């Protein structure tokens, strides 16, 4: 039985989070959302395990760097592919250290993001 790929969006901006969730759902993905890193860890613990995480870096309470550090400590979650969402100008060294597959700059170009997600999900299948 084939299931739709699951995408976890960890993003504090409600408008961005809601628009991305709606577009991805329309594209046939199962979508989980979290408003910050702490909420993202809670979603991971609750399951189901996502096939991909879209992670904002700059968030209150727990930012993307802290989320990634905690995610990597759990062997059930550490291999989940990660794509960064950022409006910042993070250095490539920081991004490489996070082990992200790619970086999507805000404002998000939806066609680029969908192509990127499609490629990641196909590789994981």
Euclidean distance between CA atoms 117 and 125, whole angstroms: 12
CA-to-CA distance for 93 and 83, rounded, in angstroms? Answer: 15
Backbone angles phi, psi at 48, to 5 degrees: -70, 165
CA–CA dist 99, 72 (Å, integer): 10
Place of tokens 């199962």: 30
* pLDDT in the model for residue 70: 96
Is pLDDT at 26 greater than 60 in this prediction? yes
Give the model's confidence band at 93: pLDDT under 50 very low, under 70 low, under 90 confident, else very high.
Answer: confident
Look at residue 82 and give its three-state secondary structure: strand
Q: Calculate what percentage of the chain has a pLDDT beyond 90.
A: 73
pLDDT of residue 124: 67
Question: What is the tens place of the pLDDT at every residue in 27-52?
Answer: 999 999 999 999 999 999 999 999 99
């Amino acid at each position: 039985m084939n299931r739709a790929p699951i995408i976890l969006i960890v993003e504090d901006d409600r408008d961005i989070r809601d628009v991305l969730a709606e577009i991805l759902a329309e594209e046939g993905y199962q979508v989980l959302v979290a408003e910050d890193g702490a909420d993202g860890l809670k979603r991971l613990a609750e399951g189901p395990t996502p096939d991909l995480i879209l992670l904002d870096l700059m968030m209150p309470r727990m930012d993307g760097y802290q989320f990634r550090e905690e995610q990597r400590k759990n062997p059930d979650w550490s291999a989940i592919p990660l794509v960064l969402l950022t409006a910042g100008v993070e250095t490539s060294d920081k991004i490489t250290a996070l082990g992200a597959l790619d970086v999507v700059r805000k404002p998000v170009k939806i066609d680029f993001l969908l192509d990127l997600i499609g490629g990641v999900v196909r590789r994981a299948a």
